[in-house]
Amino acid sequence: MDGLPEQFPTDGQEAFTGLVCPDCSGNLVVSAHQDHVSFHCRVGHTYGIVELVLAKESALESASWKAVFAFEELAALLADLDNHGLAEWCGPDNCRARSELAQEQASRLRAIIEVDRPLTERSPGNGEIRMGPS
Amino acid sequence: MINKDRTVRDTFVLGASAGGIQALTGILKRLPATLPATVGIVLHRSPTFVSELDRLLGRFASLPVVEPEDGDPVKQGQVYVAPRDHHMSMEDDRWRLERGPKIHFARPAVDPLFTSTAANRGRRTVGVLLSGGGSDGVLGLLAIKAAGGLSIAQQPSEAQSPSMPRHAIDEDHVDAILRLEEIAALILAVAVGEPFPNGR
């Protein structure tokens, strides 16, 4: 899977990336304007480098929590089906085993999220920037 | 020296995000009611919560501060603030308000104001990027410079959130990096076609 194009665009040019827009999932195009790099989709959602990376970090955490919730919901559903005697279609033992495994997977994912460390923008410092006479 | 050729630059567009209220009031309070120019402002703001940003900024300004309606003419001696949840741009000397796609996660975003003003007013335009996070406004500053206007960044050491002016400095090579009171002084000078010293 490619993120950025092998031939990175030069000033005034743009190229398709292998990435999708964090807002609408459309293909992202990367463009260069002098030293400024930006990404935009066909709709017009636009991001700088930092914004795109932070959006991807955010999307990753969001997707991870969705997975946690999906495992926990499945575990709860299967446990309740077993308790109500409604698990004959798969066998009560299989139902309990799958419920326990799903709960374990949810716990593992929670642990992964706990130790994950998303990137943040480095503090630029507070030094004064001076320009020469122009 | 900035504006050595003594061009009258009468359209000032200011962009800000986090820390922007302090920066904007620091400029507006220094501008007289007689300023022969138009000021357009985009401050990143909540699309959903109602705020009275125009009234808030108006308390610090001698110039009248309003949120324009779509199609309003662009007048001198006015400060226009982009309303929440709308991009504000200039088209044929009128304001356009649109709920277009979010740019840099923001609506209103700075780039539509800057790029459209550059297209509309050309070298009469001065773009100023103030305190904020992210890189909104950098593309707009490039457009302003390409149109013969001036691009200014707030001195990052003074900005509450220096990321936005820092991106402008790193990626746009702005015409000047100035403190708020210097930005106000530059506006007063170039609005009447005077040069402004930048040899700090």
φ and ψ of A128, to 5 deg: -75, 140
Judged by CB atoms closer than 8 Å, whether chains meet at A45 and B111 is answered as no
In a domain, A79, yes or no: yes
Using a CB–CB cutoff of 8 Å, tell me whether A127 touches chain B. Answer: yes
Using a CB–CB cutoff of 8 Å, tell me whether B176 touches chain A. Answer: yes
Let me know whether A67 and A21 are in one domain: no
- How is residue B173 written in tokens? 């090579």
ipTM exceeding 0.90? no
Confidence of residue A128 (pLDDT cuts 50, 70, 90): confident
Domain that holds residue A103: 58-115
B11-190: CATH class: alpha beta
Q: pTM surpassing 0.95?
A: no
Let me know whether A110 and A84 are in one domain: yes
| CB contact residues (below 8 A), chain B span 181-200, against chain A | 198-200
Query: pLDDT tens digits for chain B (200 residues)?
Result: 999 999 999 999 999 999 999 999 999 999 999 999 999 999 999 888 888 999 999 999 999 999 999 999 999 999 999 999 999 999 999 999 999 999 999 999 999 999 999 999 999 999 999 999 989 999 999 999 999 999 999 999 999 999 999 999 988 789 999 999 999 999 999 999 999 997 54
Let me know whether A76 and A30 are in one domain: no
Closest CB from A34, A43, A48 relative to B134: A48
Query: Does an H or E element contain A105, and which?
Result: helix A92-115
In a domain, A14, yes or no: yes
Contact yes or no for A41/A27 (Cβ under 8 A): yes
Judged by CB atoms closer than 8 Å, whether chains meet at A124 and B166 is answered as yes
In a domain, A124, yes or no: no
Query: Which chain A residues touch B195 with a CB distance below 8 Å?
Result: none
Q: Where are the domains of chain B?
A: 11-190
In a domain, A52, yes or no: no
The total domain count for chain A is: 2
| CB contact residues (below 8 A), chain A span 27-66, against chain B | 33-38, 43-51, 55
Let me know whether A26 and A63 are in one domain: no
Judged by CB atoms closer than 8 Å, whether chains meet at B198 and A131 is answered as yes
Let me know whether A109 and A63 are in one domain: yes
Give yes or no: B44 in active site.
yes
Give yes or no: B157 in active site.
no
The pLDDT value given to residue A1? 82
